[in-house]
Structure 1
Amino acid sequence: MAEIQPLRGWRYNPTLSQHIDEYVSPLFDVVSAKQREALYRNPLNSIHLSVPRGTDAAGEALLRLREWQQAGVLRQDELPGIYAYYQYFRLPGSPREYCRKGFMCHIRAYDWSEDVVLRHENTLPAAVNDRAELLARTEFQSSATHGLYRDDDFELERYLDEAIRTPLYQTEEDYQGARDVLAVIQDAAIIRRFQQVLAARQVILADGHHRYEGSLAYRQARQAAAPDASGYEGWNYHLMYLTNAAADDLRILPTHRLLLELPDALTDAEFLARLEPYFTVLPKEDPYDLPELIAGKPWAFGLYLGEGQAYKVRLRPEVHAQLSWNTTPEVKALDLTVLHFFVLEKVLGIVGPDAQRQWPGVAYVRNFPECLQRVDHGQARAAFITNEVTMDEVERVCHSGAVMPPKSTFFYPKTIGGFLFSSIEASETAHPFLAEFLTPAPTGTAS
């Protein structure tokens, strides 16, 4: 199903690549204001292309890009390839070092209706337009979105393992504590095998819905302006990092909910009383025990109201049938759907997913201690501690054709910007080597 293509990656020149940590940046939607200011002070950091500033931000990005290309700050690889990208990381409290294995390539920018690339969340039009404008002006992609394919045989990993033994470069430690390693595969037979494996797969978009939709919007605009185009021009494609959904090193971390206010000036006692018809509410002594107390239990949450008031909250099974949102059973079964429907709608009166997305009274926080601290400091009235969404749940929701509540997944670690750049100018398809991959290769296995 999914058509992928190799690309001639743009990368920082060999001298700068020796200090690649100084030039990579977090994704535009996760970088904090403080991080941005520190990164902007480096005139060669990739953030100037991914999150440009100025009254004409996209124009500033294009100007800087051309300066970097002409000065040799960025250089393009001579041959197209598929780029192995490994991320080594640890999770708090665990001695294990994980390694998420994947590869970066071009993938055709499929419309959602084509049922090849599947989404699991909705997007904000303003953010999509921002990404589309930047792409239209620069025709350059500074960070890969994250897609998932499932291969229980792990066929491609052996080629990736072989390539990663000769890395192009690696970070010492990126902003989130991960070590990122890049390598390239330029063997035509192996690249064809990657294409054949992905041609039999759908792809679930894990991260980067706004950037992907920006690519889709740009492709649609170019197609409308050039109806006789071949369909293989560079602007038909999008830079994506693909990882195997069957791998144990694919981690999804929970995103907790902070209630910044309680409507109707509810007291803590009144709030707890409103929860009682829907939830079993059990007081607990130590709020720091809440994640362990709810771990692995469906429809269970930790609740913290400050001053040591901690509760384990679990939906009464018999009331689940009241969940009346017009969505699929797969979405209704999610913990976060239960939380948003029974707490935000039934208890607090914020009716419907659209109203909840716009309600300023909820914040999404990944750091558990931060949740408790913000309630204790009076910055929030309550914290709901959640379990992580499982990969199985993500797949079932995507294949049901529905989307999850906002901020349901946090795939960890995030890919980084500036590790590999991709041009989607129409001329990018002119390289003779690329012609080898524009028609389906015969079925077979790379040697």
Structure 2
Amino acid sequence: MADIRPFKALRYNTATENMSAVICPPYDVISPQQEAALLANDPHNFIRIEYAKTIPGDDETCNRYTRALSHLQKWLRDEVLKQDDKPAYYLHEHTYTFGGEKVIRRGLFARVRLEEWDKMIVRPHERTMAGPKKDRIKLIGTLEADTSPVFGLYQDDGRFIGSVLDQVTAWPEAIEFAGEPGESHRLWVITDVEAVSAIQRAFTEKPIYIADGHHRYESSLAYRNERNNLDPKIPPDAAVNFVMMSLTDMADPGLLILPTHRVIKGLSKNLLYILPERLREHFNVETLKASNGGWENLKTLMAEDSSRFFIFGLSGDDILSLTVKNQPKVEGFMPSGHTATYRGMDVSVVDHVVLEDILGMNAMDEERVAYDHDMDSTISRVKSGEFQFAFILKPVKPETIQAISDAKDRMPRKSTYFYPKLPSGIVVYRLRD
């Protein structure tokens, strides 16, 4: 199935550069505060390429994309960045702390042949929006490079790939560096002929599931199509026909998917008053008393496999736990054409039944709906009065992502949050042969 290949990555010259100071978060999670700190942190921080600043007066010849290209070209001339001599896979261990425990997630940087969705070789699970893709296509086209990887998942039931990677981790690591607070990284460069061949063979029978980076993948696909339309003689194995990915086993113990809670504001007092009654028309509503172990009960219930969801902010400090009364009736409020897996997800129930039908809102109304993957932050934003109440959702499991993808369905937007985000700047894939 998937065509996975090694590549000659552009990487920071570790003889002169401190990797801890030059990597940055992916473009879509960089806050203004982070942007300022990263720009001040190091003159070679990768944010100057990944997310160059927009300046008043920018035009077609001078803009954030041309500035990113200027940095890339200068850093290559100055050997801040250097291209590897041999094609390689790059094994990345991302160590982080969650819930007070140290966790390690393993990913393999590779270039993956771009495929149209209908071939079912690379499989998406979420819907995308046009705006972010325009930005990425422009950056890819200007730089002729993939600056940040698409995060992909694969199944390794026989651990054929895992056994090879286990051997690689016994090698002396090529590089070790710190990341965000509480995070660290190790990177191995895999050029061994037997290891490269074994990895490539193992993937020929596997599809790839997009975990994070749908916009990046679709941007690369659009850019490839654009280039091939302009020049139909581009060879099939040309660099532009591939995209850089970081690939992780679905069974990796470090794979963490956080829920994306919804926090709501801007509703009228009358609507808030009648909301509990309207909810009871469709849901069994149980109150988890905060004074009687309600938050501990919440943690237990969040681990169960059901379309149960929770609301905080409508009943003081207590939590409302909701389950569907009549599944066929509730499914009638959902868009047609979706699978039973989609219709059974708590995020689908909240978006389509509660937000759209009961509250008459657009689930993507960014004026009144915000998203937060951290429960403590979610609760705090309601208690502070910033938001009126919150929908607390359960995390999506990897097998749900697989089921949705295999059925050619798509989850609602903002259904998953893979934690932690992959940094940008560890490796770069050039689209030049």
> What's the TM-score once normalised by structure 1's chain length?
0.89
Q: Distance in 1 between matches of 2:297 and 2:381?
A: 16
Equivalent pair of 1:306/1:375 in contact (CA under 8 Å): no
Q: Report deviation, 1:5.
A: 1.4
Counterpart in 1 of 2:343? 332
Q: Distance in 2 between matches of 1:139 and 1:388?
A: 36
What's the secondary structure of 1:181's corresponding residue?
strand
Q: Distance in 1 between matches of 2:244 and 2:323?
A: 41
Q: Which deviates more from structure 2 when the two are superposed, residues 368-377 or residues 292-301?
A: 292-301
Task: Kindly indicate whether residue 420 of structure 2 is the aligned counterpart of residue 421 of structure 1.
Answer: no
Q: Distance in 1 between matches of 2:416 and 2:135?
A: 23
The one-letter code of the counterpart of 1:219 is R
Match of 2:415 among 394, 402, 408: 408
Counterpart in 1 of 2:78? 71
Q: Report deviation, 1:285.
A: 2.5
Match of 2:247 among 238, 242, 264: 242
What's the secondary structure of 1:276's corresponding residue?
helix
Match of 2:356 among 327, 345, 355: 345
Deviation track 1:405-434 (CA, whole Å, cap 9, x = no partner) reads 111111122211011111111x2xxxxxxx
Counterpart in 2 of 1:113? 118
Q: Distance in 1 between matches of 2:28 and 2:355?
A: 25
Q: Distance in 1 between matches of 2:376 and 2:107?
A: 31
Deviation track 1:309-338 (CA, whole Å, cap 9, x = no partner) reads 422322234244431321121211111111
Q: Distance in 2 between matches of 1:218 and 1:400?
A: 27
Counterpart in 1 of 2:175? 169
Q: Report deviation, 1:69.
A: 0.2
Match of 1:273 among 265, 271, 277: 277
Equivalent pair of 1:86/1:102 in contact (CA under 8 Å): yes
Q: Distance in 2 between matches of 1:36 and 1:104?
A: 25
Equivalent pair of 1:328/1:400 in contact (CA under 8 Å): yes
Task: Kindly indicate whether residue 322 of structure 2 is the aligned counterpart of residue 301 of structure 1.
Answer: no
Q: What is the number of equivalent residue pairs in this alignment?
A: 417
What's the secondary structure of 1:292's corresponding residue?
helix
Alignment root-mean-square deviation, CA: 1.8
Are the structure 2 counterparts of residues 126 and 267 from structure 1 closer, same or farther at C-alpha, using a change threshold of 3 Å? Answer: closer
Q: Quote the sequence identity (%).
A: 28
Equivalent pair of 1:290/1:385 in contact (CA under 8 Å): no
Counterpart in 1 of 2:398? 391
Are the structure 2 counterparts of residues 255 and 363 from structure 1 closer, same or farther at C-alpha, using a change threshold of 3 Å? Answer: same
Counterpart in 2 of 1:226? 231
Equivalent pair of 2:288/2:295 in contact (CA under 8 Å): no
Deviation track 1:206-226 (CA, whole Å, cap 9, x = no partner) reads 011111111111100111111
> What's the TM-score once normalised by structure 2's chain length?
0.92
Counterpart in 1 of 2:14? 14
Equivalent pair of 2:278/2:358 in contact (CA under 8 Å): yes
Q: Report deviation, 1:103.
A: 0.7
Task: Kindly indicate whether residue 185 of structure 2 is the aligned counterpart of residue 201 of structure 1.
Answer: no
Q: Report deviation, 1:282.
A: 2.2
Equivalent pair of 1:306/1:372 in contact (CA under 8 Å): no
Counterpart in 2 of 1:364? 371
Are the structure 2 counterparts of residues 343 and 307 from structure 1 closer, same or farther at C-alpha, using a change threshold of 3 Å? Answer: closer
Equivalent pair of 2:164/2:199 in contact (CA under 8 Å): no
